[in-house]
Structure 1
Amino acid sequence: MAIRQILRRSFSNERRLAEVPKGHVAVYVGDNEKRRFVIPVAYLNHPSFQELLFQAEEEFGFNHPMGGLTIPCSEDLFVDLISGLSTR
């Protein structure tokens, strides 16, 4: 019985991790180890973010290694960019 409860709990945690709120998109960022960020879709239209999307297209095309949108930049640079967008 305890094993079933543990499995149920782990499956529900996985589902929660996979969920993306309406109006948001999940992206993967980082040089070596990728970290998942969930950002508002509106950020995708910002010129700075458009440049990152262009770099992603150049590097990965439509074959993203994480199975989702992968942004080819450091996590620090991405966090700085997102922080600047969220204050506007």
Structure 2
Amino acid sequence: MAFRLPGFVQRKKALRRSLSGIKEAALKSTNIPKGHFAVYVGEEQKNRYVVPLSYLNEPAFQELLSMAEEEFGYEHPMGGLTIPCREDIFIDFTSQLN
């Protein structure tokens, strides 16, 4: 069951970070706010999202990370985790965690 919160559009914009090459990603990796971490989401092109560390306490997010570990491992050339799902699903999923 999905919940639509009034601030969904703002959170979606806050989460969306585009990835345009390793050099830009390396620069961005130093700009992660305290209490957050980077994940890469997408099927063909991976886009970068910065999410709060508090998501690590959520059982649903832990399951998503387990799936990511099985498929990709925990190393990513851009310096973040790769999440094996479509971006729209990830955005809907994370909006429910807030």
Q: Shorter-chain TM-score category? A: 0.7 to 0.9
What pairs with 1:59-70 in structure 2 (closer than 5 Å)?
59-70=71-82
TM-score relative to the length of structure 1: 0.73
Which residue is 2:51 aligned to?
39
What pairs with 1:4-83 in structure 2 (closer than 5 Å)?
15=27, 17-18=28-29, 19-83=31-95
| Superposition deviation, residue 66 in structure 1 | 3.7
Separation in 2, partners of 1:65, 1:49: 22
Structure 2's unaligned 5+ residue stretches are 1-22
- The amino acid of 1:82's aligned partner reads T
Separation in 1, partners of 2:82, 2:33: 19
Range with bigger deviation, 43-52 or 55-64: 55-64
Q: Report % sequence identity.
A: 60
Q: CA RMSD in A?
A: 1.9
- The amino acid of 2:45's aligned partner reads E
| Superposition deviation, residue 56 in structure 1 | 0.7
TM-score relative to the length of structure 2: 0.66
Higher helix share: 1
Which one has a bigger Cα radius of gyration? 1
Separation in 2, partners of 1:26, 1:36: 7
